[in-house]
Amino acid sequence: MNNAKLKRTLFLALKKAGKLVRKSITRRKVISKKGEIDLVTEVDCAAERLIIRTIHRAFPDHSFLAEESGASLKSGQGANSPCRWIIDPIDGTTNFAHSLPVCSVSIAYEEKGVVKLGGVYDPTRDELFFAEKGRGAFLNGTKIKVSKTKDLSEALLATGFPYDRRKDPDQYLRPFREFLMKAREIRRLGSAAIDLCYVACGRFDGYWEAKLSPWDKAAGMLILSEAGGKLSDYSGAPLTLPEPSMVASNGRIHKAILALLRQKV
């Protein structure tokens, strides 16, 4: 596969969708509900169509897994392709719907089940995080690395809460309370892709969240791994894309995060 063409297409799709998101963030939006508190706007759908159209022009035989349209090209051209693009057109839709400028466009390229390229673009800050498997992670072209924080008491952590949190809030509030008491501070930005990238570049030291979808984390997982970070599920096993619960860290505080998540109180 032509890596240069893949990267050009990835960057083009990220920037095109990002431009649409940036110009729309302060405008009035048409908002629908996928669940009780799970929102989607017409811009999510428009940005996703724009991304898929951009990629499809360059690679008409590739397939897609996207948040709003699901697995596209289920039949016909691209149905059996080993090449797949995993797309979240707006990660942080609730923020976007409220005109809060914390959201991102996330796109990963997967080949034979392995994510080879990942890009996360924050259009409000014009920050483009990118990684190529085996070649490092970058922010606007400058190489990035995870933090060197070794102690949980000195760590700035991030988390998120799933859309079903009202059914059993204690399972999410219990670890939040424990981390609140043990870590330096916790942030809740509302974009998993940004959270992962912020761990990758050292702004956060660790991050945990349950019930994520592949499009939430595919690009960010590669970016964090290439920046020297560590990823696992809540049990400590290596993280796979289908696994919904994730711990991400600089590696140095990973065991401490896992130990706290395992506590039963």
**Residues annotated as part of the active site:** 67, 88, 90-91, 93, 216
* Residue pair 56/16 in contact by the 8 Å Cβ criterion: no
Q: In 3D, which of 54, 56, 84 has the Cα closest to residue 70? A: 84
